Structure 1
Amino acid sequence: MNIFSPTLYKQASQSYSDAIKWASADDPKANSFAQTGLSTLAKANANAVQSRYILEEVLNARSKTIAAGASTSQASKFKEAEKSFLGLTTLIESGKVSKAKDGRTEVLKAYQQLELIALKGDTVEHAKMALASAKKSDVDDHAPKTLKLAEEEYQLALNVFDADRNNVDKAAVHANRSLWYSQRASQISETLRHFESSDYSEEDKVLWYQEQISRLAAPITNEVAYNLPNKEVIKGLNADIQGIINANAVLLGELEASSAGKQQLAREKEEVLMLSMQAQRENQAAASKFAFVQSLFTQNEAEVYRQTNDVLIRAYGFDFPSGKSEIESTNFALLNKITEAISTFPHAKILVSGHTDNVGGDQFNLSLSEARAEKVALFLNQVGNIPIERIEFKGYGKQRPVISNETAEGRAANRRVEILIINGTQSKT
C-alpha cells in the first residue's frame, strides 16, 4: 500500500500512531483515530486497485527486474527506477491519471534495461573478464585454438540474450563454456611457459606427462605400463577405473535396497508432518483474517460468523428508505467496511442476499430484497473495485428470518443484507 497509494498510506500510519498514543493513555480518542486510519486504508486500497490496473505492464517488468537480482546488483539504478515508479502511483492517487499513463513507457524501459543488465551481470560478465585477463597475459601466444573457442562461446552467450533476454539458462551454458575454455587456455599457456623457462627437452616433456598420469593412477595401481604404446596405457587405466565403478555400483545397489524401507517410512512421516504444519498455518491464517473482519464492525452494524473457511457478514446497519432500495450516503461507511472485509479474501466469491420482515406482500418483499441486494452488489463493484464476475446477488424476501417477527426488534433484525464471502466450502444456495 505504501507503494500504490503512498499519501493515504502515510495518513493511515499517522492515525495508527495517534491511536497507539491515546490508547497508551487509556483515552477513548484512540478509537476515533483507529477508525479514521481504517477508513483511510479502505480508500488507499481503492487507489491501489486502480494503480495496479493502470500500471500492470510496468508491474510485470518490475517483478522480473527484482527476480533477476537487480535490486541488489544494480542498487543505485534500481532506486532511481523505484522513485520514478512511485511518481506514477502518486500521480494516479492525486487524480492525474493521464499524466501517469504518459510516463509508463519511460519507467517500463528503465526496469527492462535493469533486468537485462542483471541477467548478463553474473555468468556472462565473469566470462568477459576471464577472456580479457587471458588476452592481457598473452595466452593466445601459446593456446590460440583454445582461446578462440572461449571467444566463440562468449559471443554465443551474447547472441542468446539479444534474441531472448528470458533465456538465461541457455546463455549461462555458453558463458560457462567460455569461462572454462579461457581458464584452460591460461593453464596451457602456464604449462608451456614452465617448459620454456626450465629448458625442457622433448623427452622431459613426455616424462613430465607420464609423471602426471602416475599421480592420477596412484590410488588404483603403483605400476603403469609405460613400456606399452600410450593408447594402450590409457585403455588399461580406463578399464581399471571402470571396474571399480561397476563394483561400487553393485555395493550401492545393495545398500539402497536394504535401506529403501526405512527411507520410505521417513518420507511418509515427513509428508504427514508437513501436511499437518501446512493445515495449521492455513487455519491460523484463516482465524487471523476472520478476527480482522470481526474487528471492522460495531455490534449495531453487523454480526460476523465463520463457516469453516467462509465468512458471513450479517449487516443490520443499512439505512434504506421505507419500501425503497436506493443506497443513502449514511450507508457508505458500512459499505466501505464491507469492501475492506472482502478485500481480505482476494480470490473469494461474493454472494449478496437481501432479506425483509413479514410486513407487506410476499412478492413486494421478494422484489424489494432483491433490488437492495443488487444495489449493494453494484456498489461493491463500482466503488469497491471488486470484479463483477466474483459477485452474485439474490433476494429472499421474508423467507429466511433470523428471529421471530412478532416484535419490532425482531422485524428490525430480519430487515438486513447479508454478504457471504465464499472460499470454496460453502454452497451458494
Structure 2
Amino acid sequence: MPVSARFGACPRACRRIVPVLLAWLALTGQGVAAEPPQNLRATLFGAADQALAAANGQRASLLAPDSYASGAEAYRRAEEILADGGGIEAIQRNLARARDDFTEAAADAEIAGARFSAALDARADADSAEADRYAPELWRDAEETLTEAASRLARGRDKSADDRADAARGQYREAELAAIKANYLNETRSLLETADDLRARRYAPISFERASALLAEAEQALNADRYDTDRPRNLAQLAEHNAHHAIYVARLQRQIYDDDTTLEEVLLDWEGALSALADELDVPVYFDDGHEAAVKRMSEAIATLKADITFLEQAVADRDAQIASLELEVGDQSQSLARVNEALARRERQRERFERVEALFEPEQAIVLRQADGVILRLIGLNFASGSARLTDAHDAILGRVQAALAEFPEANLVIEGHTDSFGSDASNLELSQARADAVLQYLLANSPRSPADVRALGYGESQPVANNETPEGRRRNRRIDIVIYPRW
C-alpha cells in the first residue's frame, strides 16, 4: 500500500502518469530510458517520505497533531497533482511544505513526549488493558484530550497544555480501570441480566442476590487495586456460578408453574443423582426426611476412604524407604549381620518416635509427614488473623504440643517455613510469610533450651501451595506454618 493511502488519497497515477513524466523529462533533459516511471515518484517524494517516517516514529499524529495534519494535507495535494498530471514545480512546492511540516512535527512530538510522560505511561497501561476495545468512548475522549494538550503546547500555551495532559492521564486511567472491569466482570453482568429477564429476583432471590453481592465485591476489589486480580477473578467466578444457579432455579420454577414438571419429579431426579454417588461408595442411603442423612453418610464414607488412603500411602512410603535403605546397606557384601540388625533397630526406633509425635496432635491441629531426611509438622491449626503475624494466647495449646514434639528430636536442626495463599501481591505475601515464621521461631526459642544456631525461619509466600487456591478450603490449607525437622538419626 503506498504511503499516501494513510491520508486517503485515490491512486490515479496509473491513468495520468505519462504527461507528468514527459514534463519531468523535459525539465531534466533526460530521455525516457534514463528514469523509468517507478523511479519518478521516489525521486520526488524521497525527502518527504523520510520526514514522514521520522514523524511517525515520534507519534507525531498524536503529539504534534497540527503540524502533522498540515504536512499530511500538503502531501496529499502533491499526490493529487502527480496523479492529475500537474506541473513538477507544484508537486515540489507541496512536498517541500510537507517535509518541513513533518520535520517540525517530529521535533514537537519529541518535546511533548518528554513533557507528557505521565499521560503517555497511563495511555500505555490503558492500551495494555485493551481500553480501545472494552471502553472505546473513554479511550476516544482521552485521545482527544491528549491531542488537544499537544496542540496547546505547540502554540506555546505551556500551562494550559500541562492541565490538559493531566486531564488526559486521568481519562486514560479511568479507561484502563473500565477495561479491566469489563474484561473480568462483563460475563457476570450479562448472566445477571439474563437471570433478571427470567425473573430470578422473584424465583431465585437468594442466588440472585448472592451473585449481585459477589459482583459488587469484585468491582470494589478492582477499585482498590486494579493490578491484583487474583481475588476479583475468584469473586467473579463465584458470582457467575451463583448467576447460573439463579437462572437454573428460575427456569425450573417456571416449568413447575407451567405444569411442565412437578416438585416431586425434581426431588426424585436429585435424589437419583445422590443415590448413584452413594452406590459408588457402597453406602445405602434413603431420603425419608430429605437429603441431610444421606449426605452425612456419604461424607462419613468419603472421610473414611481418605483416611485409609493417607494411612496406606504413608505405609507404602515407610516400606519403600526401609527397602531402599536396606538395599543400600546389604549392597556391601562385607557388612556384618550385626550392622543389619542395628539398622533395623534404628528404623524401629525412628518409627516409634514418629508415632509418638503423631499421637501428640489432633487431626485438626497438625499433619505429621515423614520424608527421606526428616519429619514435617504441618500446623494446619495454627491460624493467624488476616494480614497479621502476631501470636496470641489462643496459639499456646498447639505450640505447647509442638514443643513436646520437638523434645523428641533434641539434637535436630529446624527450619520454620511460612506459607500463604495466592491472594495479595507476591511481595506482600512473601513478607507476611516471613514475619509469621519469625514469630513462631521467637516463641520456640523463648520457651525451650534449643540453640538459635539450630533454628532458622524462611518465608515462601504463595510459591509452595499444597491445595487449590481457587477454593476457600484450599486457601485455608495453604495458609500454614511447616516445621521441618532434620534429626541426626
Q: TM-score, normalised by structure 2?
A: 0.39
Q: TM-score, normalised by structure 1?
A: 0.44
